[in-house]
Amino acid sequence: MTVKATVSSMTSRERVLAAMRRQPVDHLPLCVETLCHGFVRFVTERLPSPFKRAKYFTGLGLDAGISLDEAVCLPDANPEIRVRSWREQPAGEPHPLMGKEYRTPKGSLRQVVVRTEDYENDYFSRGRETLDLFSDYHVPANRSRQYLVEKEADLEALACLLRPVTGAALAEYWEKARRAREFCDQHQLTLAVYQLGVGDPIIWMSGVERTLQMAMEEKDLFRRYVELVANWQREVLAVALEAGAQHVVRRGIYESTDFWSPGLFTEFLFEPLKRETAMAHAAGATVDYVMMSGYMPLLDSIKSAGLDMLSNLDPLAHGTDIRAIRAAIGDAVTLCGGVNNYLALEKGTEADVRRAVREAIAAFTPATGCILAPSDCVLSYDDESVAERNFHVMIDTWHESW
């Protein structure tokens, strides 16, 4: 049972903003969703309402808020696009194939994915009978028979697919944002928006191998591809900022040096990131950059992009040294994460969790410019009771540090 700590002297919104500005805080913030990438599955499933979750988390002393979805027009909802889905079992294929075709005024795009045994084990795809436009599941080459974007001719059709929300859907988005904004103002929480970024959608649509081949051997084509996706992201970001978003959670999971060389990152991904960040700052919003590993060679770029926070730091990720990251960029970029989600929170003993949290707190002491958080989603595939126990052990251990 988690016991609440003493009354805080700052509101959650004040504390989060101070952390982003690397100013003194009344205590080290702790968040598990909204301010960075991730969520706690058993909480989300029991409390699907983001308003109820925010009240639950703040009741435990955590820092929380409400997150707006990206203001995108889904192809299925665009009357200009005809969508066809299918499933088949070709002769000689050990697994069914799932396909989806988008017929646009500028041509058709198709994606074909193998539904392997691990499809039902993937939290975000299991039970789904049609393909999502974007999915981590599509990325590995052994799962995709055809990627959505593979050649230059696909870009014109893609431009028809990637649109900001409009019309009645925009009005609905504005109404949801209004309710979320009023709730956040009432409870002094942060209103955030989740942005897909540039590198992540491109790798979802083209896979790692084809993406890097274009970046290295077909540079003019790839620049057009990047510009198309980056322009779309700025368009949808503009809608969210106008709707009142105060914080942007911007994905960069597929932008790390696990996939890109520092040179290719600088050549193609740095400027879009910098422009989005400047755009958010002009609207008074802060920006979190989500990159779970492979960020050590990019620290100078992350700092010079003007980002407010680098999140989802995992102390167990290969090559990660949180103290070294703090020494390198902690004067300019707030750091968020510190507690491994899978081995510590989902599978660890109580002692493992307490040790992990204390080590993270030690790395984040003094607390200026730091936010404690799991390094990613707490999905608890194996034993939900262990994850739930460890979730509260994490909070108790954090409270003890106050």
- Tell me the C-alpha distance between 269 and 172, whole Å: 32
Q: How confident is the model at residue 387 (pLDDT cuts 50, 70, 90)?
A: very high
Q: What percent of the chain has pLDDT over 90?
A: 90
Q: Residues 347, 396: contact at Cβ < 8 Å?
A: no
Is residue 41 predicted with pLDDT exceeding 60?
yes
Burial class, 91, CB count within 10 angstroms (exposed 0-12 / middle 13-18 / buried 19+): exposed
pLDDT at 260 over 50: yes
Domain boundaries, the chain: 12-72+162-400, 75-150
Confidence category of residue 2, pLDDT binned at 50, 70, 90: low
Question: Tokens 């970001």 — which residue?
Answer: 237
CATH of domain 12-72+162-400: 3.20.20.210
Query: Which amino acid is residue 58, in one-letter code?
Result: T
The Cα–Cα gap between 62 and 11 comes to 11
- Give Cα 308 to chain centroid, integer Å: 15
Structure tokens at 121: 């084990």
Prediction pTM value = 0.95
Tens of pLDDT along 337-372?
A: 999 999 999 999 999 999 999 999 999 999 999 999
Q: Which structure tokens are listed for 112? A: 């074909």
Report the pLDDT averaged over residues 273-283. 98
Q: What's the pLDDT tens digit per position in 137-149?
A: 999 999 999 999 9
CA gap 189, 340 in Å, rounded: 25
